Amino acid sequence: MATVFTHEFNTPVYKGKTSFNTGLYINGKFVEGSDKTTIDVTNPATGKVITKIAEATAKDVDIAVAAAHKAFETTWGLNAGGAERSRLLLKLALLMEEHQQELAAIEALDNGKTFTWAMDLDTTFAIDTIRYYAGWADKIHGQVQETDEKKLSYTRHEPIGVVGQIIPWNFPLLMMSWKLGPALATGNCVVLKPSEFTPLTAIRMCELIDRAGFPPGTVNLVTGYGNTVGAAISSHMKIDKVAFTGSTLVGRKIMEAAAKSNLKDITLELGGKSPNIIFNDADLEQAVNWAAHGIYWNHGQACSAGSRIFVQSGIYDEFLEKFTEKSRSLKVGDPFDVDSYQGPQVSKNQYDRIMDYIQSGKDQGATVHLGGDRNGTEGYYINPTIFTNTTPDMKIVQEEIFGPVGVVIKFEDEDDVIRQANDTVFGLAAAVFSQNINRALNTAHRLKAGTAWVNCVNQLHANVPFGGFKQSGIGRELGEYALHNYTAVKSVQVNLGHVM
């Protein structure tokens, strides 16, 4: 029998109790892993263990895949009409809304993001996403093709089948909703693996999925490690598609495993090193505020983080002074303190990784203009950090740090900054600040990135596609575009009297 996790939140921003099963969720039941082993889940604010959860193995993936196939053939897939899929997704959105504060509190405890952000962004956006895809579920249309009068030709957009979904730790609930929404709306069954660092909201969500009434086997949760469970999903012969969000390194492994197994369909949402370009004619105060949001939001643990801040020479000194002031003003502290803007990094691994990058910046000759050090003595807090005097070849300019660390780089003109901004293997997002509409849009169009923000950063909506150029990924999430990731097009040709 899987065990139950109970936690009483008695914080300034939220008081309440949560209690849920810590098992795998397979075929509509919470169960132990086949090996009966567990994984410790840690609170990044203290470094202490919160609870243990069941650890899945490749054998559990097989069991989950079998359950998903059974559901696909009997109760879901082509057996559940669009209106029914929509009804269940809407019910799930309502249940999430009913438990929004609890979900936000679990996320803050497990991931370290502030309760305020988890309320205002993660949970709100996750609910919006599920509701948005509920709206699509009964509007999945094919087309009719004109051929000749003796033939009827049309297409059907059918569900792909059983899909594997592997999600990261930076936006656990939100990434789950981005993945589940389009997959379920289009009739697929899911085997999902959250990050072992942040599995708690995913487990709680499975209870809500159960209560909403999704047939057993429609959604299955296998909590486990990437190199066992993640690898088993990406190489599984009976998983028809895998959708992944995480590092480019692991994305590459998933693509390779997909190619070597059954050539399963893939979508990858990977890393970034996004440029944030601020021209002399920008609204300086707004540019400073947005630049801070661009790099420090979610403690810098965002694939779209505006981590390379390019500032035109005419305003460079003034920008740097104001940006430094703004960075200093952001309170780093307890995720449940209403004044905190930035909580701890998600894990000791990530803390060490970021500190190594900071050290490499120093070793390669960049200047630590602000921060670069630990905040406090407990947990994995890092102060907002600004590097200046960088060169294009430095690791801190080229690689994804995934922490509250930005580089501020001076540029002279449009051609110069576009060349520098595009000098990266990534292409997820970019931002431009200018009050000259021609300059802003011309620059946005010349940047090689899947998203270009003009006079804002890190803006995401359920109906706006998101994904990367170059090594930042394959396919688009969100919006109508994400539905294409989860449907296979079938052409049907009917003979209306053509005699052979």
String marking each residue 364-403 x if it binds ligand NDP according to CB under 6 A: ------------------------------------x-x-
The only residue of 33, 112, 159, 168 in contact with ligand NDP, by rule CB under 6 A:
168
Cβ atoms of 381 and 343 closer than 8 Å: yes
Indicate the residue among 195 and 434 with the shorter CB distance to ligand NDP. Answer: 195
- In Å, how far are 27, 156, 276 from 78, measured between CA atoms? 18, 11, 45
Q: Answer for the pair 302, 269: CB distance below 8 angstroms, yes or no.
A: no
Report how many residues bind ligand NDP under the rule CB under 6 A: 27
CA atoms of 185 and 134, how far apart (whole Å): 6
Mark the segment that binds ligand NDP (CB under 6 A) among 13-21, 193-201, 380-388, 432-440.
Answer: 193-201
Binding mask 218-257 for ligand NDP (x = CB under 6 A): -------xxx--xx--x----------xxx--x--xx---
Longest alpha-carbon distance in the chain: 83
CB of 231 to ligand NDP, least distance (A): 4
Q: Is 84 a catalytic residue?
A: no
Angle between helices 82-98 and 172-185 (to 10 degrees): 160
Question: In what helix (H) or strand (E) does residue 105 lie, and over which residues does it extend?
Answer: helix 100-111
Say whether residue 176 binds ligand NDP (CB under 6 A). Answer: no
If the CB atoms of residues 114 and 350 are measured against ligand NDP, the closer one turns out to be 350
Q: How far is the CB of 253 from ligand NDP (least distance, A)?
A: 5
Write the single-letter amino acid at 147: T
Beta carbon of residue 406, minimum distance to ligand NDP (angstroms, whole number): 15
- Please name the amino acid found at residue 61: V
For residue 166, state whether it binds ligand NDP (rule: CB under 6 A). Answer: yes
- Pick the piece of the chain touching ligand NDP (CB under 6 A) from 96-104, 162-170, 449-457, 482-490: 162-170
Dist CA 68 CA 221 (whole Å): 11
| Contacting ligand NDP within 304-363 (CB under 6 A) | 350, 353
Alpha-carbon span 57 to 24, nearest angstrom = 11
Give the residue carrying structure tokens 């596609």.
465
- Judged by beta carbon, residue 250 or residue 320, the one nearer ligand NDP is 250
Closest distance to ligand NDP from the beta carbon of 473 (Å): 8
Pairing outcome for strands 429-433 and 24-26? unpaired
Beta strands (DSSP E) in 111-205 are 144-145, 151-159, 162-166, 189-193
Residue 60 or 400: the one with the smaller Cβ distance to ligand NDP is: 400
Find the binding residues for ligand NDP in span 434-493 (CB under 6 A).
none
Q: Could you tell me the smallest distance in angstroms from the CB atom of residue 235 to ligand NDP? A: 9
Cβ proximity to ligand NDP: between 122 and 196 the closer is: 196
Question: Hey, what are 403's tokens?
Answer: 């922490």
Beta strands 367-370 and 265-269, pairing class: unpaired
Residue 154 has a CB neighbour count (10 Å cut-off) of 13
159 contributes a contact to ligand NDP by CB under 6 A? no
Please check whether residue 398 is in contact with residue 390, taking contact to mean a CB–CB distance below 8 angstroms.
no
Q: Is 14 in the site for ligand NDP (CB under 6 A)?
A: no
Compare residues 186 and 234 and give the one whose CB is closer to ligand NDP: 234
Which residue among the candidates 269, 285, 321, 400 is catalytic per the annotation? 269
- When binding is defined by CB under 6 A, the residue of 134, 270, 366, 421 that contacts ligand NDP is 270
CA distance 481 to 342: 32
Range in contact with ligand NDP (rule: CB under 6 A) among 69-77, 132-140, 168-176, 479-487: 168-176
Q: Choose, by CB under 6 A, the member of 196, 240, 265, 477 that binds ligand NDP.
A: 196
Range list of β-strands (E), 296-403: 308-312, 367-370, 385-388
Residues 201-220 binding ligand NDP (CB under 6 A) are: none
Q: Supply the DSSP string of 314-337, one letter for each residue.
A: TTHHHHHHHHHHHHHHSPB--TTS
Asked if residue 405 binds ligand NDP (CB under 6 A), the reply is: no
Structure tokens at 355: 């500190």
Contact region with ligand NDP (CB under 6 A), list: 27-35, 128-136, 263-271, 314-322: 263-271
d(CA 209, CA 206): 5
Asked whether 39 and 53 are in contact (CB, 8 A), the reply is yes
Q: Residues in the site for ligand NDP, rule: CB under 6 A? A: 166, 168-170, 193, 195-196, 225-227, 230-231, 234, 245-247, 250, 253-254, 269-271, 303, 350, 353, 400, 402
Q: Which residues are identified as catalytic?
A: 269
